[in-house]
Amino acid sequence: MSNGTEARLAELGVELPVAPAPAANYVPFVVVGDLAFVSGQISQNADGLITGKVGVDLTTEEGAAAARTCAISLLAQAKAACDGDLDRLVRVVKLTGFVNSGPDYTDQPKVVNGASDFLVEVLGDAGRHSRSAVSAGALPLGVAVEIEGIFQIRP
3 state SS for 4-64? HHHHHHHHCCCCCCCCCCCCCCCCCEEEECCEEEEEEEECEECCEECECCECCCECHHHHH
In the predicted structure, residue 67 carries a pLDDT above the cut 70: yes
In the predicted structure, residue 3 carries a pLDDT above the cut 70: no
Asked whether residue 69 is domain-assigned, the answer is yes
- CATH code, 61: 3.30.1330.40
Percent of the chain predicted with pLDDT > 90? 89
Asked whether residue 26 is domain-assigned, the answer is no
**Residue 98 near residue 134, CB atoms below 8 Å:** yes
Asked whether residue 10 is domain-assigned, the answer is yes
* Count of structural domains, the chain: 1
pLDDT of residue 23: 82
What is the span of the domain harbouring residue 58? Answer: 2-20+44-153
**Residue 146 near residue 23, CB atoms below 8 Å:** no
Which residue type sits at 53?
Answer: K
Asked whether residue 37 is domain-assigned, the answer is no
pLDDT of residue 144: 98
Asked whether residue 36 is domain-assigned, the answer is no
